[in-house]
Amino acid sequence: MGECLCGSVSFVLSGPLRDIVSCYCSECRKTSGNFVSATSVKENQVHFIEQSGLSWFKNDLAIRGFCQICGSNIFWKQQPENGQVSVMAGCLETDTGLKVKAHIYVADKSDFHEIAGNVPQYNKSG
């Protein structure tokens, strides 16, 4: 199960989750305050329990789902859409067993952020 900070968006994911990708691009930094770590599932594997606060912001690159009440950044969909939705890992309420599999757009990361470990790093998307 996952939810936003205030509970106005809550959901269950039914399907295999992709391991975590951490993105450091400027859009993710500006919408989250730093970088985002997300898993992904097929869009039809997201089942909403509550979505009264759910709102979507669309630009040429992505469609972002967020809570219009508390501001939580929850979902990300590629533009044009491909049937997948990324889910911000911080919104997941239960242990997942997922591991970080990649760091992307590391050339855009904040200068104060150091990436530790042996996980692959890519200047753009992997």
Q: What is the pLDDT of residues 5-31, one digit of tens each?
A: 999 999 999 989 999 999 999 989 998
Predicted confidence at residue 120, as pLDDT, reads 94
What's the token pair of residue 86? 């990324």
Residues in the chain predicted with pLDDT less than 70, given as ranges, are 126
pTM: 0.91
Predicted confidence at residue 126, as pLDDT, reads 59
72: Cα within 13 Å, side-chain hemisphere: 23
3-state secondary structure of 45: helix
Domains annotated on the chain, with CATH: 2-108 (2.170.150.70)
- Helix (H) or strand (E) segment spanning residue 28: helix 26-32
